[in-house]
Amino acid sequence: MEGIGHALDDDRSVNLASVFPGNGEMAARCRAFDWASTPLGRVSSWPQSLRTTVGIVLACRNPMFLWWGPELIQIYNDAYRPSFGRSGRHPIALGMPGRECWTEIWPIIGPQIEQVMTTGESTWHEDQLVPIERNGRLEDVWWTYSYSPVFDDDGRIGGTLVVCQETTQRVLAEGRLRAIYDGTFEYIGLLSLDGTLLEANRASLEFIGKSRDAVIGVPFWESPWFAFTSGAPQAVRAGIARAAAGEFVRYESPITRHNGEQRTFDISLHPIRNERGETVFIVAEGRDISERQRLLNALHVERARLAEVFRLAPSFLAVLRGPNHAFELVNEAYYSVIGRRDIVGKPVIEALPEVRQQGFVEILDRVLATGEPFVGREQRLILQRTPDAPPEERYVDFVYQPLTEADGTRSGIVAHGSDVTEQVLARRDIERLLIESEEARAEAESANRVKSEFLAIMSHELRTPLNAIGGYADLIEMGIRGPVTAEQRDDLHRIQMSQRHLLGLINEVLNYAKLETGTVEFDVTEVHMREVLAAAESLVAPQAKAKGLTLAVGDCPPNIVVHTDSEKLRQILVNLLSNAIKFTDKGGRIDMTCLADAKCVYVRVADTGIGIPADKLDAIFDPFVQVRPELTRRHDGTGLGLAISRDLARGMGGDLTVVSTLGRGSHFTLSLPLYAQ
């Protein structure tokens, strides 16, 4: 207490108001402060340099802080006060030795102050983080400050003056801004007007695979962004020049990534203006649109392909819109059906005026009104396909399908189908030909029937006089009309032979005619093949023997029973055997054999006779065909035997076939089904 009293007393000798001028709080505190209790001693003892500096500090509106003397006794001004926050340091920091006041940050600022005090060199710290205790905790506080030496009256370093500015708010705001642009996937860079890259966000640096230091300060077009892309640097340079002139520039650019990946970028260059409206920076913004581009391209290709399919589809296709059914889309096949092209945009009535009366427009109206599709088959359509030619008839298969929008309204119709004119006309031709051939067949059949009927009548008419000739010849030969000379008897024999031949011929003709007219009836019974073969053999055996031929009938498999007409079967076999005898020379051989499988029985008559020329094998089954007529005259034949036999065989569900070698013999095979059909 004594010291204070003494000091106050003593300091009355100095004008405190001139050392600590002004009305501020700190000036008042300084005036009231007991400086004698500090190593600075009484104010009256202070060197002039300290007094002057304190005056400047207290008067200055910039935060200032002075450390004086080896103990670094503190004096600060009003502008500095808010920096303490609620720390309890103010006002006790006044006159306090620096080391005692700033224990928590002394490791940071201690050496800096020490350096100034010993070397006299000023320091500059920009946005330096100096966490201090205030507001009840250790707070991150950023400062921009300088330490400068203040010299005392003898030119030695007396203290350190701090001129400082707390920049916490700005540093935090900048950090938040950076978080925004580093947090985005877009590529952002800040350029100076000459194109130097000033800043690049995290996404950009990751994309180009470089550190910040490697790209900042480099002209944008020389940056690794473009190192891989030919042509891009010039375009970028031109773009930057335009943006620097205040224009917003936007363009697409191919960019090759550092790993070789090809990308497409949508690049925007935004001119940034100051308050005076002058462009000062350029913000370059890049968006990777490769994926969008790829999808668009794929979509484009897909569309083109679909359009091509639509255009060239073999079916005709048209999309009609609105109540008038205006043509919206039409493919090639449609054009070729209607024979004209200039129809897109026109209502159907206008595009195809000739169909007005043909019911198509009414069908379209109905499909649009009801939503029910319409299917047309072979619909006749009269079209004026060429302006000068007469209207043409076309036939079409088609479907009219309603087109429904997402909201359920019906807005149009798809017509698709095919031109079936050719098919319809071809089918009509075939139908016409079928009818014609049917008529021809019926005509031929009836002509045949007339012929057969004629033959039957004629044969009957001929038989009566022939029988009379035979009868009267027999009477004369018997001598009933008087004695007969040897010469007359010879003549009578000739008459009788001719009469028999003629009668045989007529009988066969009659038989054949019956077959042809379909008037033959088959008397089907169970027939034992063995018995029929034996009967046929016994009938021809005398002839064979007379001609010196060997006739052998093979043993039939036992119990073969056929459901057929036994009389007609025997007639066929006798005919085949007679032919074999007729056309086989003396000493030859004839074999008749019988075989069966699950369905048929086969009787084969084989001879070692003269055989049949290959080109006649088919013809011998035709009526009146004889290979060598002169032989037949000798052999007493008509040329009807095989025709009748085959007709009979077929009439019984079987067939008659031949295999023959000229000069070696013939094999005739009769096949008959085991069961009547």
Binding stretches for ligand ADP (CB under 6 A): 579-580, 583, 607, 609-612, 620, 625-628, 632, 637-643, 666
83 versus 579: smaller Cβ distance to ligand ADP: 579
CB of 583 to ligand ADP, least distance (A): 3
CB of 463 to ligand ADP, least distance (A): 19
Q: Are 25 and 81 in contact (CB under 8 A)?
A: yes
121 versus 636: smaller Cβ distance to ligand ADP: 636
Residue 570, helix vs strand vs coil: helix
434 versus 497: smaller Cβ distance to ligand ADP: 497
CB of 622 to ligand ADP, least distance (A): 9
CB of 612 to ligand ADP, least distance (A): 5
Phi-psi map region of 345: left, alpha, beta (phi>0 left; psi -120 to 50 alpha): left
Provide CB contacts within 8 A for 517, sequence distance 6+.
Answer: 449, 452, 453, 456
Residue 180, helix vs strand vs coil: helix
Please give the DSSP secondary-structure letter assigned to residue 347.
Answer: B
Concatenated DSSP letters of 22-56? SSSHHHHHHHHS-GGGSTT--GGGS-HHHHHHHHH
Distances (CA, A) of 533 to 189, 289, 576, 646: 117, 100, 12, 18
Among 442, 437, 443, 448, CA closest to 518: 448
518 versus 629: smaller Cβ distance to ligand ADP: 629
193 versus 574: smaller Cβ distance to ligand ADP: 574
74 versus 660: smaller Cβ distance to ligand ADP: 660
Distances (CA, A) of 14 to 5, 18, 51, 154, 309: 15, 8, 11, 21, 107
Q: Between 529-546 and 566-582, two packed helices, what is the crossing angle to 10 degrees?
A: 30
38 versus 608: smaller Cβ distance to ligand ADP: 608
Rounded CA-CA distance 549/566 in Å is: 26
CB of 628 to ligand ADP, least distance (A): 6
331 versus 666: smaller Cβ distance to ligand ADP: 666
Rounded CA-CA distance 48/158 in Å is: 11
CB of 668 to ligand ADP, least distance (A): 7
CB of 610 to ligand ADP, least distance (A): 5
Q: What is the dihedral of CA 625, 629, 633, 634, to 10 degrees?
A: -120
Q: Are 634 and 582 in contact (CB under 8 A)?
A: no
160 versus 666: smaller Cβ distance to ligand ADP: 666
Rg (CA), the chain: 66
CB of 655 to ligand ADP, least distance (A): 16
Interstrand relation of 600-607 and 561-564 (parallel, antiparallel or unpaired): unpaired
CB of 512 to ligand ADP, least distance (A): 10
CB of 624 to ligand ADP, least distance (A): 8
299 versus 614: smaller Cβ distance to ligand ADP: 614
CB of 527 to ligand ADP, least distance (A): 23
Burial of residue 600 (number of CB atoms within 10 Å: 0-12, 13-18, 19+): middle
383 versus 551: smaller Cβ distance to ligand ADP: 551
CB of 544 to ligand ADP, least distance (A): 13
Rounded CA-CA distance 496/338 in Å is: 84
Interstrand relation of 550-553 and 589-596 (parallel, antiparallel or unpaired): parallel
162 versus 620: smaller Cβ distance to ligand ADP: 620
Distances (CA, A) of 529 to 104, 556, 593, 658, 671: 138, 7, 11, 21, 12
CB of 450 to ligand ADP, least distance (A): 24
308 versus 636: smaller Cβ distance to ligand ADP: 636
72 versus 656: smaller Cβ distance to ligand ADP: 656
CB of 672 to ligand ADP, least distance (A): 19
Q: Are 331 and 313 in contact (CB under 8 A)?
A: yes
Residue type present at position 675:
Y
Instruction: Give φ, ψ of 254 to 5 degrees.
Output: -75, 140
| Direct distance between the N- and C-terminal alpha carbons of the chain, in angstroms, rounded to an integer | 156
Q: What is the dihedral of CA 151, 156, 158, 160, to 10 degrees?
A: 60
